[in-house]
Amino acid sequence: MKVLPVGDCVWEIPPSEKPGMRVPARIYASEALLGQMDKGVFEQVTNVACLPGIVRASLCMPDGHWGYGFPIGGVAAFRADTGVISPGGIGFDINCGMRLLRTTLTEDEVRPRLRELINALFAAVPSGVGAKGFVHLSETQFSEVMVEGSGWCVRHGFGWPEDLERTEGQGCLPGADPAHVSARAVSRGRDQLGTLGSGNHYLEIQVIRPGGIHDPAAARALGVDAPGQIFVMLHCGSRGFGHQIGTDYLRIFDQVMRNYGITVNDRELACAPFRSPEGQAYFGAMTAAANSAFVNRQVITHRVREVMGRVFGKDPRELGLSVVYDVCHNTAKLERYPVDGELLDLVVHRKGATRAFGPGAPDLPEAYREIGQPVIIGGSMETGSALLVGTARAMAETWGSTAHGAGRTMSRAQAKRRVWGETLLKEMEARGIIVRAASKSGVAEEAGFAYKDLAAVVDVLHRLDISRRVASLTPIGNIKG
C-alpha cells in the first residue's frame, strides 16, 4: 500500500490503493512515528475512507494504532444528510475523556503526605473491572443523568457551577434519548458513576517540573502558575453503560445495513445512515452515554475534592481545586464546517481523538477565548502528560481534532510478558511515583515502554499547528484500574 509524503508530517494513501475508497486516507506523523504504526492502522484508515458520505479524507493522528473498526486516533466527518454513523468510529467506552484539576498546592506540601493521599483516593474512587460507585440511582434518576449530564451533578451537590463552563459542551451534549437505551445497558451503568474502571483509566497526581511551562501566557490563562504546582488528572468514560450501547447497536446496524444498500470492508464498521431511524436511535443512545461519562468524571472530581480537603485540612476552594478543562474522546458530534464553499452539517467521529477548537470558539469559557480550547493528552503513568490548546489550523485541517494520548506500541499481553506488575510498582516507587492499583497485572499492561514517546507525538501536533503545547505534567502518584 503506497503511503506518500504530502507535507511536513503529513502522509496520504490515495484512493487508487484500495477499491471503494471515496477519499484519500491522511496520516499525521513523523517518519519515526509512522514506522511504529502497525499494519492494521493502514487497513483501517483506508476502510473508513470507503464509508458513504465521508468528506475530504479519512484521518489518523500521530498516536494512531490498531483499534476496533476505526484506528485509535481516527477522525472522519460524514455529511449529515447523506452520510453514516458508525459505533466503530466512536468506540465502546463512549466519551472516554480527560479532566484536569489545578491546585494551589506545591510538591513540597504534597510529597510528605503523598502515600496518605494516594491511599485515601484509592479508597474513595473505586477502580477495576465491575467496580460500583457510591451514587445509587433509580432508573428514573439515571434517565435524568443521561439527559442533563454534569448539570445533574451541580443540582445534586456533586459539583460547582463553574465546573460546567470548563467542560466540553458544558458537560451535556444535546440529543440524548433514554428511550433508545436498552434495559441491559441501564443495569450495567446505573451503579458505576464515580468509578474509574480498568485498562488505561487512571486518577493521577501530577507536578509541573522546571522547564515544564512552554507557553507562559497560555499557561497563566489556564491556571498553570509555576514549577512545583500540583495538578490532578483523570481519565475514564461511560464504562459498562457505553460498552453495552455500542454492542447493542453494532448488532442492529449489522442487520439493517443491507436495507440501505450499504456494504463495508470490515463488520466492525457496521453503520447506518445518520438520518435513518436506526442512526438517530443510536445517536440518542450514544449521547446519553456521553452525558453519563461527564457525570462519572464530575462525581470523581467531587470525591477528589472531599479527600484532598480532608488530607490537607482545608476547604477544597482554599486548595484552588478548580477544573482546568474536561475534554472528550470517543464521540460523534454534529458540527458545522465549510466544505468547498458550502457550510455543511457534518457528523464528526473522533475515535481516540480529542476536540481541539481554536480561539474564538463559541462554547469556550471567556477566559480561554483568546488562546483556544484546552487539550489534555495523557501519556503513560511513568512518563507524564501534556496540556495544549487548539488552533485555527485544526479547525481548517482536522475538523477541530487532535491526538488523545501517546498511543500503544504493543498489546497488553506483550507488555505483561516483559515485566511483572509487582516489579514495576517497586521500580516506580524508587523513582518517586506511588501507585495503587486494583490489579497488578493491569499495572504491567500500562508500563511506559508499551506506549509511544509522548514528546514525539506532541512535537508533531505542535509542528503541524493543530495543537500548541502549553505545559508538561509529570506523575508522582497514580490510581489504576
Of these residues, 156, 201, 404, 462, which one is catalytic?
404
Higher pLDDT, 363 or 109: 109
Is the model's pLDDT at 428 over the cut of 90?
Answer: yes
Whole-number pLDDT of residue 193:
96
Would you list the DSSP string of 326-381? EEEEEEEEEEEEEETTEEEEEEEEEEEEEE---TT-TTS-GGGTTT--EEEEB--T
- Per-residue pLDDT, averaged over 50-79, amounts to 97
CA-wise closest residue to 168 among 411, 356, 435, 381: 356
Q: What is the DSSP letter of 449?
A: G
For the chain, give the mean pLDDT: 96
Of 407, 381, 404, nearest to 473 (Cα)?
A: 381
Query: For the chain, first and last CA: distance in Å?
Result: 38
C-alpha cell recorded at residue 206: 501530577
Per-residue pLDDT, 363: 87
Residue whose C-alpha cell is 450514544? 286
Quote the CA–CA distance of 125 and 123 in Å, as a whole number.
6
Q: What is the pLDDT of residue 131?
A: 85
**Residues 368-384 pLDDT 10s:** 999 999 999 999 888 89
pLDDT tens digit sequence for 378-412: 998 888 999 999 999 999 999 999 999 988 888 88
The answer to whether residue 481 scores a pLDDT higher than 80 is: no
pLDDT digits (tens, 9 = 90+) for 153-210: 999 999 999 999 999 999 999 999 999 999 999 999 999 999 998 888 999 999 999 9
CA 325, distance to chain mean position in Å, is 12
Distance CA 253, CA 272 (A): 6
Q: How confident is the model at residue 342 (pLDDT cuts 50, 70, 90)?
A: very high
Count, residues in the chain: 481
The identity of residue 362, as a single letter, is P
Q: What is the mean pLDDT of residues 24-53?
A: 97
Nearest to 81 by CA among 340, 343, 291: 343
Confidence of residue 139 (pLDDT cuts 50, 70, 90): very high
Select from 250, 300, 256 the least CA-distant residue to 89.
250
Q: Is 340 left (phi over 0), alpha (psi -120 to 50) or beta?
A: left
**Using one digit for the tens of pLDDT, what is the confidence trace for 73-129?**
999 999 999 999 999 999 999 999 999 999 999 999 999 999 999 999 999 999 988
What is the predicted pLDDT for the residue at 172? 98
Active site residue 302: no
In the structure, how many helices (H) and strands (E) does the chain have? 16, 17
Determine the Cα angle at 264 with ends 260 and 267, to 5°: 105
Of the candidates 217, 220, 215, the residue with the CA atom closest to the CA atom of residue 386: 215
Three cell numbers, residue 191? 451503579
Q: Is the pTM of this model over 0.85?
A: yes
**25-50: average pLDDT:** 97
Cell of 100: 484536569
Q: 70-79, 348-357, 402-411, 429-438: lowest mean pLDDT where? A: 402-411
Q: Which grid cell sits at 229?
A: 504546582
Distances (CA, A) of 335 to 293, 345, 348: 20, 6, 7
Mean pLDDT of the 260-287 span: 98
Instruction: Find out whether 72 and 61 touch, Cβ atoms under 8 Å.
Output: no
